[in-house]
Structure 1
């Protein structure tokens, strides 16, 4: 993954104020990313502000797939991809 020079959303909101338009844009990008994952039968499992990465050009990426799971379309059951709760 490329370097995200804006840091995490947690860092940004602890140091500065985001306008409603900026929060709406970040939310939209996160939801588009989750829609992509879900359409590929992947559940992120740990969406939080410290796992949302930002760039100064406005790019937004979801990170830390340690708790992600794969849903198999045939059985509609979850199988662990990788990671641990610790």
Structure 2
């Protein structure tokens, strides 16, 4: 993944839909923008909160990692 910015965990944490209007999540080191997803309103998706790395939580999800393909890549988690 070339030419994408690197963000820290602290920067990602601010994009939780409450501290800043953006709603971002990370999966396997890639940060996705889920702001426009109706399933992530107010930064929450079922029991999951935005602004964090959800890699370990995917095992409990009823979907596969292919769900991330529909979202824009914002950067990588450094």
Q: TM-score range by the shorter chain?
A: under 0.3
Using CA pairs below 8 Å that are at least 6 residues apart, which structure has the higher relative contact order? 2
Normalising by structure 1, we get a TM-score of 0.26
- Greater helix share, 1 or 2? 1
